[in-house]
Amino acid sequence: MTTIIDGKEIADRIRADVSDCAAHLADEGVTPGLATVLMSDDGASETYVSMKQRACEETGIEGIHRVLDPEASAETLLRQIDDFNDDPRVHGILVQMPVPDHVDSQAVLERVDPMKDVDGFHPENVGRLVTGNTRYKPCTPHGIQKLLEAADIETEGKDAVVVGRSDIVGKPMANLLVQKAPRGNATTTVCHSRTDDLAEKTRTADIVIAAAGVPEMITGDMLSEGCTVIDVGVNRVDAETEKGYELVGDVAFESASEKADVITPVPGGVGPMTIAMLMYNTVKAASLQSGVDVELP
Ligand SMILES: Nc1nc2c(c(=O)[nH]1)N[C@@H](CN(C=O)c1ccc(C(=O)N[C@@H](CCC(=O)O)C(=O)O)cc1)CN2
């Protein structure tokens, strides 16, 4: 029988533990603070930022939220980041991605103080991740590691295929999978839009991580019997629902479930873990900056 990993339940457990750590910091006079910046009128980005705001309230993190006009200049966004870099209430800074086309996203990521970079996207933190000296693991890949751990999926010695090479998921995920740390030591292949025969690659995999942003691109016939499938896609597809869309993963769930032993659903799989690990990184940031130790899960 196929096991469907309940990401919401695992995320709730992690969030409860992170909340205890936040309470411990508060007892020591340190209230963890997360600043979010939204510079977009994209509906999905608005949803994610409001979920992050709510998670802050529920975790005991002070949320400071700024919405910038998507037409504003890049300089306005960079100045906002500078303000947060200088604000002692703020331990973590998150600029919701993507930013508008006229803004150089790399310049934005580089402007965030690396100690406050709870996304783990600053080059210093990327370099640390690649060399195995991680400060902040990017939230989605870290959440996937936690899902694998909770579902007792071993990665050591296994063949993993990551579909998608984004800076947010694909690249850091592949880097974590090849490291020696727990839920690493996997033989890892990264596939992308120029991969010649994707199905040939995914069929060799014990673990497939689908993060290409293409609805239902991974179908059952592309998978090996008994594999683990982690679906990172959260695609809004037009549908006759109240909202006018439904959420569809990068994996065709029905056909993939016939092959996979373990699979994550969309929604309720990887998504909730991204928010849980952001809370984790924010509390870690507050701990690192204050020198007050916490025992994160
Ligand atoms: N600065 C960042 N920007 C973006 C990141 C990121 O980690 N940092 N990741 C993605 C999107 N993302 C977070 O921002 C995200 C995606 C999905 C979910 C989630 O909980 N999804 C739910 C469904 C929610 C819905 O109703 O739409 C689920 O899958 O169950 C949370 C966060 C891009 N940008």
Specify the pTM.
Answer: 0.98
When divided into structural domains, the chain yields a total of 2
Kindly report the number of other CB atoms within 10 A of residue 89's CB atom. Answer: 12
Per-residue pLDDT tens digits for 80-133: 999 999 999 999 999 999 999 999 999 999 999 999 999 999 999 999 999 999
Q: Do both 254 and 156 map to the same domain?
A: yes
Per-residue pLDDT tens digits for 202-229: 999 999 999 999 999 999 999 999 999 9
Report the CATH number that the domain containing residue 65 is assigned in CATH. Answer: 3.40.50.10860
Q: Is 258 inside a domain boundary?
A: yes
Q: Distance (Å, rounded) from C-alpha 136 to C-alpha 23?
A: 21
* Residue 235 CA, ligand 1 centroid: distance in Å: 11
Q: Is 257 inside a domain boundary?
A: yes
Q: Do both 143 and 266 map to the same domain?
A: yes
Stretch 235-246: mean pLDDT: 97
Q: Do both 262 and 172 map to the same domain?
A: yes
Q: Is 61 inside a domain boundary?
A: yes
Instruction: Tell me which residue of 295, 284, 271 sits closest to 143, measured CA to CA.
Output: 271
Per-residue pLDDT tens digits for 106-118: 999 999 999 999 9
Contact assessment for residue 55 and residue 275, using Cβ atoms and an 8 Å cutoff: yes
Q: Do both 151 and 77 map to the same domain?
A: no
The sign of the CA dihedral 57, 60, 62, 63 is negative
Q: Is 125 inside a domain boundary?
A: no
User: Of 10, 48, 251, which is best to mutate to test ligand 1, by the most ligand atoms within 8 angstroms of its C-beta?
Assistant: 48
pLDDT exceeds cutoff 90 at 181:
no
Per-residue pLDDT tens digits for 37-76: 999 999 999 999 999 999 999 999 999 999 999 999 999 9
Q: Please give the annotated binding residues for NADP(+), written as ranges.
A: 164-166, 234
Q: Do both 106 and 163 map to the same domain?
A: no
Instruction: Tell me which residue of 246, 207, 257 sits closest to 228, measured CA to CA.
Output: 207
ipTM of this model?
A: 0.99
Q: Do both 143 and 78 map to the same domain?
A: no
Q: Is 232 inside a domain boundary?
A: yes
Q: Please give the annotated binding residues, written as ranges.
A: 164-166, 234
Q: What are the b/e assignments for 38-60, b being 16+ CB within 10 Å?
A: bbbeeeebeebbeebbebbeebb
Q: Distance (Å, rounded) from C-alpha 29 to C-alpha 86?
A: 19
Q: What are phi and psi of 186, to 5 degrees?
A: -95, 150
Q: Got the DSSP string for 146-211?
A: HHHHHTT---TT-EEEEE---TTTHHHHHHHHHSSSTT---EEEEE-TT-S-HHHHHTT-SEEEE-
Considering 53, 85, 116, which residue would you say is the last residue of a domain? 116
Q: Is 64 inside a domain boundary?
A: yes
Considering 101, 116, 131, which residue would you say is the last residue of a domain? 116
Q: Distance (Å, rounded) from C-alpha 164 to C-alpha 184?
A: 18
| Atom number in ligand 1 closest to CA 234 | 29
Q: Is 288 inside a domain boundary?
A: no
Q: Do both 79 and 194 map to the same domain?
A: no
Q: Do both 54 and 162 map to the same domain?
A: no
Q: Distance (Å, rounded) from C-alpha 282 to C-alpha 116?
A: 8
Report the CATH number that the domain containing residue 161 is assigned in CATH. Answer: 3.40.50.720
Q: Distance (Å, rounded) from C-alpha 151 to C-alpha 149?
A: 5
Instruction: Indicate the average pLDDT of the chain.
Output: 98
* Residue 12 CA, ligand 1 centroid: distance in Å: 16
SS3 assignment, position 3: strand
Q: Is 44 inside a domain boundary?
A: yes
Q: Distance (Å, rounded) from C-alpha 99 to C-alpha 42?
A: 10
Q: Do both 170 and 257 map to the same domain?
A: yes
Q: Do both 99 and 185 map to the same domain?
A: no
* Residue 115 CA, ligand 1 centroid: distance in Å: 22
CA dihedral 183, 261, 5, 173 (to 10 degrees): 30
Q: Do both 103 and 190 map to the same domain?
A: no
* Residue 265 CA, ligand 1 centroid: distance in Å: 14
| Nearest CA owner, ligand 1 atom 20 | 271
Q: Do both 267 and 186 map to the same domain?
A: yes
| Nearest CA owner, ligand 1 atom 5 | 97
| Atom number in ligand 1 closest to CA 247 | 27
Domain holding 160, by residue range, is 139-272
